[in-house]
Amino acid sequence: MNAVPLPVPDAWLPNAARLDRPDTLVRSEPFPFLVAHGLLAEEAREALDHDFPRYPGAGFFPYDEADCGPAVVALIARLTTPEFAGRIGQLLGIEDLGRYPTLVTLCRSLNRRHGTIHTDSRSKVATALLYLNPQWPDTSDGCLRFLARGDDIEALIAPELKPLYGEFAVFKRTECSFHGHLPYEGERRVIQIAWVVSEEAKARKTQRGRTSRLLKRLFGAIDRRLGARRDKNAAHRD
């Protein structure tokens, strides 16, 4: 994007106090997760919309400052601070979450192959999802679901979350941290922060993401066709 860095007002950026609003949902069973609303200031909406990367393919891609404008860079810097992670860890029962390396990936759009049920890999300690879509159609398709089972997308353990601007969800990775969404194709902007067990795991996942980005550029049409008829209860390993 090659945007000229500009100062972003601190008041535009999220802080840990926003996680303590009365409407934040925190659960410990069947796995620890939280859902928070209004994490982003309304004043930041236009800048984040302008500065969000325009990837040529669908799916999640490793974060690169060169892809993003200054507002998105500043937002990610805030989301990856030890202080922000520390409050999430306190809420989810994860000791000193901020000591773990962070792996950041971004998504602008999906095809119907994405969103199958999974738990995330064992190399992840916790995963946060911050959504930025300005609007969402009147549908459950593409809405995040935390689930009681790995074979039933309807086994919700909390209300589904529409991927709208400022909506935020975090979960601790466990053997039963099932989540996914109904098939959806189209724009679905999200920043994903994963706290991973080691720098080696981060490097491995980053390289895999870069390879995937190249393949999606080359074979995007095939990727869309492969996912066009996927079953809503389909699952995958991370």
Closest CA to 149 of 25, 231, 32, 233: 233
Is residue 99, in this structure, part of any structural domain at all?
A: yes
Quick one: pLDDT at residue 32? 98
Quick one: pLDDT at residue 2? 44
The Cα 35–Cα 170 span in angstroms is: 7
Q: Which tokens hold the place of 165? A: 């601007």
What's the farthest any 2 CA atoms get from each other in the chain?
47
Closest CA to 120 of 188, 203, 61, 179: 179
Is residue 163, in this structure, part of any structural domain at all?
A: yes
Is residue 83, in this structure, part of any structural domain at all?
A: yes
The Cα 97–Cα 120 span in angstroms is: 17
Is residue 121, in this structure, part of any structural domain at all?
A: yes
In the chain the first and final C-alpha atoms are separated, in Å, by 29
Q: Which tokens hold the place of 129? A: 């999802």
Helix (H) / strand (E) element for 171: namely strand 168-172
CATH of the domain at 163: 2.60.120.620
Residue 218's SS3 state is helix
Q: Measuring CA to CA, how many Å separate 124 from each of 46, 140, 177, 196?
A: 32, 27, 11, 4
> In degrees rounded to 5, what are phi and psi of residue 161?
-115, 120
CA–chain centroid gap for 124, Å, is 13
Quick one: pLDDT at residue 222? 58
Quick one: pLDDT at residue 215? 59
| Chunked mean pLDDT (size 10), the chain, 238 residues | 58 90 96 97 95 91 94 96 96 97 96 93 97 97 97 98 98 98 96 97 85 60 64 82
Site of tokens 């095939």: 222
The b/e string for 96-111 (b: 16+ C-beta within 10 A; e otherwise) is ebbebbbbbbbbbbbb
Q: Find out whether 211 and 65 touch, Cβ atoms under 8 Å.
A: no
Q: How many domains does the chain have?
A: 1
Residue 173's SS3 state is coil
Which residue type sits at 220?
A: G
Is residue 236, in this structure, part of any structural domain at all?
A: no
Q: What is the pTM of this model?
A: 0.91
Is residue 1, in this structure, part of any structural domain at all?
A: no
Is residue 235, in this structure, part of any structural domain at all?
A: no
Q: Which tokens hold the place of 228? A: 């066009």
- Residue 41: give the domain boundaries: 15-227
Q: Which tokens hold the place of 218? A: 């080359």
Quick one: pLDDT at residue 8? 79
Is residue 238, in this structure, part of any structural domain at all?
A: no
Closest CA to 114 of 206, 188, 194, 205: 188
